Amino acid sequence: MTTATLPGTFTIGLARGHAELREFFRTKEAVVFTFALPAVLMILLGSIFGGSYDNTGVTAGQVFAAGMIGSGIVSTSFVNLGNRIALDREDGTLKRLHGTPIPATAYFVGKIILVAVTSIAEAVLLLLVATLMFGLKLPSDAGHWLTFVWVFVLAITSCALLGIAVSALARSVAGATAIMQLVYLTLQFISGVFVTPITNLPRVMVTVASFFPVKWICQGFRSVFLPDSMAAYEMAGQWELGKVALVLGVWVIAGLALCRLTFRWSNGR
């Protein structure tokens, strides 16, 4: 008698990714909330901000829109993933998976696929809104697009890992939603997303925000879509892309460590 062998971890992960995407896009409320909230905030708040920055030709709406692209990606990675893992823990999906021979890595590959696809879709949607409504100009050179790619990758990786770790703090989906939204909205305010330019914020707030990824994610995206003259309106007077990469890289490592320390398969353990 021959023993059937399971498909490889990556193959199972791809299958789970397909299932994750199918389940997500079937849940209309989740789709609307995940994609629409950042876009609606961009339209509403971007329309409220008026005026332009001296000698730059850049409007306040464009600065806000550039930062909101980063904020939208935080929503699809940190908030969305944290809530969905809390749901999987609450309805027993994680516990059932833990009792099967399917490797846990495949579960996380599926979640990574979900985060990657939804984050790309969110970025495209926000870029469309920003260009059509606020005249945000897309980069015309490869260098800026390369910056976009590495900021994007580090952003979704660090925020997804932190979403997994923070989801362990809640014992229910309702609790996870409250925690995720509180952290998400607080960081938007103190990181210079909802208040532009960031130099208008009290320095102590920005100092606190500097310890977390959101400030650096949005700063990285502003460097992609805004002219170099706008760097003067950052707290350090420059884009600090090296520090952006360093801080986000540190949070990727810290996120991995926190996941190992906090992740649990059920609400009981």
Quick: pLDDT tens for 98-117: 777 777 778 888 888 999 99
| Percent of the chain at pLDDT exceeding 90 | 41
For 136, which DSSP code? P
- Whether residue 91 is predicted with pLDDT greater than 80 in this model: the reply is yes
Mean pLDDT of 219-223: 95
Q: Is 60 exceeded by the pLDDT of residue 268?
A: no
Q: Measure the CA–CA gap between 72 and 126, rounded to whole angstroms.
A: 8
pLDDT score at 223 = 95
- 8 DSSP assignment: P
Cis peptide leading into 213, omega within 30 of 0?
A: no
Half-sphere exposure of 215 (CA within 13 A, CB side): 26
Handedness of CA 71, 211, 164, 105 (dihedral sign): positive
Cα 244 to Cα 176: distance, rounded to the nearest angstrom: 28
User: For residue 108, what are the contacts with CB-CB under 8 A and spacing of at least 6?
Assistant: 13, 164
- Average model confidence (pLDDT) across the chain: 87
What mean pLDDT do residues 206-216 have? 94
185: part of which helix (H) or strand (E)?
A: helix 173-190
Closest by Cα among 199, 212, 200 to 250: 212
24 C-beta neighbours (distance < 10 Å), count:
16
Quote the pTM value.
0.89
Split at pLDDT 50, 70, 90, the class of 88 is: confident
Phi, psi of 91 (to 5 degrees): -85, 5
pLDDT value, residue 60:
86
* Res. 146 pLDDT band, cuts 50 70 90: very high
What is the reported pLDDT for 239?
95
109 near 13, Cβ under 8 Å? yes
* 1 pLDDT higher than 50: no
pLDDT at 267 over 70: no
Structure tokens that stand for 146 in this block: 């390369």
Question: DSSP character for 78?
Answer: I
Looking at residue 94, what is its pLDDT?
82
Q: Indicate if the pLDDT at residue 236 is higher than 50.
A: yes
Note whether 252 and 161 are within 8 A (CB): yes
CA distance 221 to 88: 32
Contact (Cβ atoms closer than 8 angstroms) between residue 175 and residue 86: yes
Task: State how far Cα 56 lies from the chain centre.
Answer: 29
Q: How far apart are CA 233 and CA 174, in angstroms?
A: 38
Q: What percent of the chain has pLDDT over 70?
A: 96
Q: 90 with 266: CB under 8 angstroms?
A: no
User: How is the chain split into domains, by residue range?
Assistant: 9-262
Q: List the beta bridge partners of residue 173.
A: none
Q: State residue 30's pLDDT score.
A: 78
What's the pLDDT score for residue 171?
A: 76
Q: Does 217 have pLDDT greater than 90?
A: yes
Structural contact between residues 90 and 172, judged by C-beta atoms closer than 8 angstroms: yes
Residue 10 contacts by C-beta under 8 Å, 6 or more apart in sequence? Answer: 106, 109
Asked whether the predicted pLDDT for residue 9 surpasses 80, the reply is no
pLDDT in the model for residue 220:
96
pLDDT at 226 over 60: yes
In the predicted model, what is the mean pLDDT of residues 58-78?
90
The pLDDT score that the predictor gives to residue 159 is 92
Q: What is the pLDDT of residues 132-143, one digit of tens each?
A: 999 999 998 999
If one compares 243 and 173, the residue with the highest pLDDT of the two is 243
